[in-house]
Amino acid sequence: MKRFLTVLLLFVSVSITVSQQKGVLTGIVLDKSTQTFLKDINIKVIGTELTARSKEDGSFRITDIPVGTYQLEFTSVSYQPYVQSDVVVSTGIERELIVEMQGISTDEVVVEDSRFQKPNDVTTSYKSLTFEEIRRFPGGLEDIGRVIQSLPGISLTSDGRNDLVVRGGSPAENLFIVDGFEVNNINHFGSQGATGGPVSVLNLDFVRNVSFLTGGFSAKYGDKLSSVVEIEQRAGNSEKFFGKINLSGTGFGANFEGPISKKNKSSWLISARRSYLDLIFNAAGFSFVPEYTDFQAKVFFKLNSNNTLEFNSFGALDKVRFNNDNEENIQNNLNILTNNQKSYSAGVSWKSLLNNSSYLVTSVSRNYTNYFFSQRDSNFNEVFKNESKESDVQLKLEYNNKIAQNTYLSIGTAGKTLKLDYDIDKKADTLYYIDPNTGNNIILPAVKILDNTRTYKAFAYAEVIQSLMNRVKLTAGIRYDYFDLINKKSYISPRTSISVTVTPKLSVNLSYGIFYQSPSNLWIVGSPQNKNLRDIRADHYIAGIEYLLDESTRLTVEGYYKDYKYYPVSVNRPYIILANNSGFEDQNTFGLEELSSSGTGNAKGFEIFLQKALTKNFYGTVSFSYSDVKYKAYDGIERRSDWDNRYIVNINGGYKIGKTWEVSAKFRIAGGRPYTPIDPADGSINYDNYNSKILPVYHRLDVRAEKKFIFKHWTLTTYVDIQNIYNRQNVFRYEWNSFKREIETSKNLGILPTIGISAEF
């Protein structure tokens, strides 16, 4: 009893200590259109009497704030009010806020969604996530891709991956931009030619904000058909040295940051992480063991009041080891592709404020990935080898000018050189698919590629944003893309959108655009005929409304139609369109065969999204997505997409209990994806039946509980995250086991508890 009372008194004393601890908030306020620093902006910590006013350089600092999670209100007579939610004050790392405010004219209708503002050039299909929203997301594993998967319009793939299948598109149709640099993939064990993987390379502690566009995006974004994920990273602290040690559900790592020059507010930020999945997989007796390490760095220089320089870099080392110590493991590993990778991305950008209404951003970036894929038969003979090195260097210039009170101009251009070095050897493969016209198995011919190529890409765009009658925002842009590796090299894509503010709470939004994406480099070298491939085209038609129910709750309803043309399809496998064939690799999913740009398709659907921002204790989202996605391959027969769930419901919410406890949960239910039935007698598949059956309905519940311990100079955060808490056995696919001569059911993850511990100091 005495021991219990002692523990209770210690816990109470910790809680009392927590209530007495105080922290600091710093930040910079910018004009969203011109990126100029804003002075005399009033800042208030909602729920307290604490206030501040921004200085000449846009900076502000608020001290003696009791630890906790707050909302900050930014107001000025010349700018729309803005409220920043989820601002965490602790005795650990001080994260500097970057706040962008939208100017208004005196007679303009001010929209009341002060928490849900969008970028200037965005009209439809936009969602945003802050660092704190991603960090605390149940089942998200602090992974950007996994959290985005719970937003409307995203179809399900596998619980073990974070691929984004957006509004009927493939995992290859997503553009990732990190601090202005185009990045080929942000994932460990990434898919060659696509954008998904099992876990993100990016350290969440670097992330400030993530913008997610699922259609109708502006002319400055190109060479992708379905979505844009724009990740803005924070700079390191320019006043003090801080550190963080983190143990998460997938690995452990450390971050450090500090000032380069306090006077010029220049800083550095670095991190390194190592997975411990190899320890877990070995202990659990898995036949394969993944290992990965990653590193990241950012350096920020403020050269003077008008010029800043940033350096960003991240990289990864990935390796898969196999335990072939018994016959069962050997047979299991036959279906697993060796996927070893070395990759990095790096870039330098210079932002120059030319005057009070315009700025120029000049950047140079590089991406590099060294892939090694291999697959062996039961006798350990190698039947597939792919050693590829893909790299690119891009020079980009973007100029932005607020040429009048209600007129905004953006123009840009970029050139990219690509170095492609391929050593590929694929043996002929007899498939289980049967050609119904001949009754014979389909045979994919052998492929041997030794190719070392340098090629080029370029683009240019221009865009005008015009406000009319103080209620209407019109955006019009045009984009030009060039790709030297294919025979038809040039493409032009116009885009336009309009937003009408009906009332301060209600707006109606429309957009239309033509989007082009070049074929994967690997598809083009897969056969001599593939240089005749064209850029894939998708036309987006989008209409929606946004309604503000109250100051912290927003409802959006949006419908869309996407029309696909010139999609690559297989000539040897006339049922296959490569929209269904990317993202999950075995030796036959790389597109190493003769292809034709004769594929077509369409995706239509609607989405409902209700969002409640954190005010006092509660936050949450509810979304419903309906889709109907069909493609026509080489045989001209219309079939459902591999990733078409038809409907998906996501419910996510959390509650803060005091200043140090938080609980949250996420529930998802989705219609079954199409699959192709297998003959149980011999494993054969008649491709006339391709995607003619439906998998069982998918559903699962994830829960999370978090506790913070606040000490005088540091903060300890602990959490328990349990995925699929009721252990639903969701079916991922059915496949033929040639060793056992039977159909096996491949299932998604069962119940998976993880713990996390982090110390910020």
Single-letter code of the amino acid located at 530: N
Does the pLDDT of residue 17 top 70, yes or no?
Answer: no
Let me know: does 114 contact 554? Beta carbons within 8 Å: no
Mean pLDDT throughout 91-109? Answer: 80
Q: How confident is the model at residue 93 (pLDDT cuts 50, 70, 90)?
A: confident
- 166 touches 227 (CB < 8 A): yes
DSSP 330: H
Q: Do residues 213 and 166 make contact, with C-beta atoms less than 8 angstroms apart?
A: no
Compute the distance between CA of residue 329 and CA of residue 1 in angstroms, rounded to an integer.
52
Residue 44 is encoded by which pair of tokens? 């208030």
Domains of the chain: residue spans and CATH: 18-101 (2.60.40.1120), 126-760 (2.40.170.20)
- Do β-strands 97-101 and 22-31 pair in parallel, antiparallel, or remain unpaired? parallel
Which one has a higher pLDDT value, 289 or 478?
478
Is pLDDT at 13 greater than 60 in this prediction? Answer: no
How far is the C-alpha of 177 from the C-alpha of 209, rounded, in Å? 12
What single DSSP character describes residue 81?
Answer: E
The answer on pLDDT for 59 being more than 50 is yes
Does the pLDDT value for residue 584 go beyond 60? Answer: no
Backbone angles phi and psi of 591, in degrees to 5? 75, 30
Q: In 90-173, at which residue ranges do the beta strands (DSSP E only) sit?
A: 97-101, 126-130, 154-155, 165-166
What are the tens digits of pLDDT across the range 600-625?
Answer: 999 999 999 999 999 889 999 999 99
Res 41 pLDDT > 90: yes
Low-confidence winner among 64-78, 323-337, 675-689 (lowest mean pLDDT): 323-337
CA–CA separation, 630 vs 558, rounded Å? 20
pLDDT at 337: 84
* 354-356-359 Cα angle (round to 5): 35
pLDDT at 440: 93
pLDDT band at 729 (very low <50, low <70, confident <90, very high): very high
Whole-Å CA distances, 95 to 167, 207, 257, 295: 35, 11, 11, 20
pLDDT score of 248 = 80
CA 9 – CA 11 distance, rounded (Å): 5
Question: How many whole angstroms separate alpha carbon 324 and alpha carbon 337?
Answer: 14
Per-residue confidence (pLDDT) for residue 107, from 0 to 100: 60
In the prediction, which pLDDT does 1 show? Answer: 41
Provide the pLDDT confidence category of residue 280 given band limits of 50, 70 and 90.
low
Of 448, 361, 421, residue with least CA distance to 181: 361
**Looking at residue 18, what is its pLDDT?**
43
Q: What is the pLDDT of residues 380-418, one digit of tens each?
A: 788 899 999 999 999 999 999 999 989 999 999 999 999
Contact 400, 410 (CB under 8 A): yes
In what helix (H) or strand (E) does residue 175 lie, and over which residues does it extend?
strand 174-178
* d(C-alpha 212, C-alpha 210), whole Å: 6
Instruction: Give yes or no for a contact between 236 and 258, defined as CB atoms under 8 angstroms apart.
Output: yes
Burial 354-381 (b: 16+ CB within 10 A, else e): eeebbbebebebebbbebbbbbbeeeee
pLDDT of residue 12 exceeding 50? no
pLDDT at 6 over 70: no
d(CA 172, CA 328): 33
350 DSSP β-pair partners = 309, 362
The pLDDT score that the predictor gives to residue 332 is 65
- Band (pLDDT 50/70/90 cuts) for residue 553 is very high
- Identify the three-state secondary structure at position 508: strand
Q: In which order are the strands placed within the sheet that holds 42-45?
A: 51-53, 42-45, 68-76, 79-89
User: 743 near 735, Cβ under 8 Å?
Assistant: yes
pLDDT in tens, 626-670: 999 999 999 999 999 999 999 999 999 999 998 899 999 999 999
**Percent of the chain residues past pLDDT 70, beyond the cut:** 93
Choice between 590 and 104, residue whose per-residue pLDDT is larger: 590
- Kindly state the average pLDDT of the residues 548-572: 96
* Complete edge-to-edge strand list for the sheet that includes strand 685-686: 441-444, 429-434, 685-686
Q: By C-alpha distance, which of 248, 231, 235 is closest to 294?
A: 248
The CB density around residue 266, as the number of other CB atoms within 10 Å, is 19
pLDDT at 7 over 60: no
Q: Look at phi and psi of residue 724 and say left if phi exceeds 0, alpha if psi is from -120 to 50, else beta.
A: left
Find how far residue 376's CA is from the centre of its chain.
Answer: 33
pLDDT digit string, tens, across residues 171-223:
999 999 999 999 999 999 999 988 889 899 999 999 999 999 999 999 999 99
499-544 pLDDT per residue, tens: 999 999 999 999 999 999 999 999 999 999 999 999 999 999 999 9
Contact 431, 414 (CB under 8 A): no
Q: What per-residue confidence (pLDDT) applies to 377?
A: 77
Instruction: Please state the pTM of the whole predicted model.
Output: 0.94
The widest CA-to-CA distance across the chain, in whole angstroms, is: 83
**What does the pLDDT read at residue 328?**
62
Q: What's the pLDDT at 113?
A: 65
Instruction: Calculate mean pLDDT across residues 279-285.
Output: 63
- Calculate ∠ Cα 369-374-377, nearest 5°: 170
- C-alpha–C-alpha distance, residues 170 and 581, integer Å: 8
What is the percent of the chain where pLDDT is above 90? Answer: 78
pLDDT, tens only, 409-464: 999 999 999 999 999 999 999 999 999 889 999 999 999 999 999 999 999 999 99
Report pLDDT for 286: 66
- SS3 for 362-384 is EEEEEEEEEEEEEEECCCCCEEE
pLDDT for residue 243 is more than 90 = yes
What pLDDT does 638 receive? 97
- pLDDT at 5 (0 to 100): 37
Q: Where are the alpha helices (DSSP H) in 60-150?
A: 131-135, 144-148
- Residue from 642, 664, 658, 663 nearest 575 by CA: 642
pLDDT for residue 282? 65
Q: What is the mean pLDDT of the chain?
A: 91
Give the mean model confidence (pLDDT) for residues 254-271.
93
Which pLDDT belongs to residue 10? 38
**Six-digit token string for 646:** 């038809």
pLDDT reported for residue 121 = 92
Question: Which CB contacts under 8 angstroms, 24+ apart, belong to 738-742?
Answer: 738/683, 739/331, 739/378, 741/683, 742/680
Q: In 10 A of CB 196, how many CB atoms?
A: 25
Per the CB < 8 A criterion, the answer to whether 567 and 600 are in contact is yes
Q: What is the pLDDT of residue 469?
A: 86
Higher pLDDT, 225 or 6: 225
Neighbours of 406 (CB within 10 A): 16
Predicted pLDDT at 382: 87
Task: Report the first-to-last Cα separation within the chain, whole angstroms.
Answer: 35
Q: Is the distance from CB of 631 to CB of 638 less than 8 angstroms?
A: yes
**Average pLDDT of the segment spanning 721-746:** 92
